[in-house]
Structure 1
Amino acid sequence: MTKSEKTQIIESLTIEFKESNAIAVCDYKGLSVKDLESFRVAVRPLGIKVQVVKNTLASIALKNAGADGLEFRDTNIFIWGEDQISLAKAISKFAENSAGKFVIKMGFFEGNVVDTKHIELVSKMPSRDELLGMLLSVWTGPARYFVTALDNLRKQKEEN
């Protein structure tokens, strides 16, 4: 890899990392290319990007993006996206199904370095769509009860 190629990779990763709210670093030792590719395809609709990058290049790009405090050893795969809940859910689910071959190491969520426990807790939170569904249910509750009461009143008057 030439120096200009490395510079180009660093610049593009810096831009990507600056625009993301969540970055996860995982170990993928033992996974097949087929498994990694199926993971990439599964998370692409969620706006999550997955890439294997050399540790030195990723370290420089993360520092340029303002994500300091992450240290890398061994094999790493970098996963990033806008929504930290969907990212945490995706990597936690994949880690469960990979039989120990895919291990979550650390992350950088909204400007803070986080450990695996934090990522697991975030993965158990309801997603944006689930929260909107809960909110919609709360908002429509009074109207639903009002309609049910009117229907019961109508039935009662029909019986009399």
Structure 2
Amino acid sequence: MPQQYKIDKVAEIESHIADSNGVFVVGYNGLTVKQAQELRHQLREVGAEMKVYKNNLTRLALKNQEQPEIDEILVGPLAYVFYSQDPVEPAKALKEFATKSKGVLEIKGGISEGKAVSAEEVNAIADLPTKDQLLGQIAGLINGFARDIAVCVNGVSSGLARTVQQISEQKAA
């Protein structure tokens, strides 16, 4: 029979999985305490949370929550980054920290929107623009179209006015 603290820990992991849109798995072998604190702080700023759990307990929690199997990456000392909103910001924070820490932090993969993702896919997510940046780009495009339409409409009316004026000048002469 499993020990109570393990049952409680699996329930805790399940609640994190249920409350989040996804989880990224990172290897932290060689990460200092100061670096870990810095990474946790950066992740908190973008709405994510990093936790360290035993891989077997996480495997059970993922299975209980009917998440895709990622057993092949659940090897060695791992940390789990749970995010509840957009996956781009946490992925960017992880990628920046991984490059800054010179290989101490290794992105292994994870689960995003109910699908298993590889390390390459997490890096591709990190390269995407954020939701706010996309909304800004869309607003800029809409503004550009509106401006172009206004210029065209104004050009037609001013051209018509010039034509009418020239015709009236010709008839007056």
Which TM-score applies when normalising by structure 2? 0.78
Q: Greater CA radius of gyration, 1 or 2?
A: 2
Q: C-alpha separation between the residues in 1 aligned to 2:131 and 2:104?
A: 29
- 2:82 is matched with which residue: 80, 83, 94? 80
Equivalent position to 1:100, from 92, 99, 103: 103
SS for the counterpart of 1:68 is: coil
| Percent identity of equivalent pairs | 29
Give the counterpart of 1:138 among 129, 132, 141: 141
Partner of 2:125 in structure 1? 122
Amino acid at match of 2:70: L
Contact 1:15 1:65 in 2 (8 A): no
Task: Tell me what 1:18 maps to.
Answer: 18
Q: 1:22·1:87 contact (CA, 8 Å) conserved in 2?
A: no
2:53 corresponds in structure 1 to: 53
| TM-score, scaled relative to structure 1 | 0.84
Q: Is the partner of 2:116 in helix, strand or coil?
A: strand
Distance 1:140 1:116, change over 3 A: same
Shift of 1:28: 0.4
Correspondence 1:1-16 to 2 at 5 A: 3-16=3-16
Shift of 1:5: 2.3
**Is the 1:31–1:102 contact (alpha carbons within 8 Å) kept by the matching residues of 2?**
yes
Map 1:60-79; keep pairs closer than 5 Å: 60-71=60-71, 72-79=74-81
Residues 85 and 125 in structure 1, CA contact (< 8 A), matched pair in contact too: yes
Deviation at residue 142 of structure 1 after TM alignment:
4.1
The alpha carbon displacement at 1:6 in A equals 2.0
**Number of residues paired by the alignment?**
149
Q: Tell me the C-alpha RMSD between the 2 structures.
A: 2.1
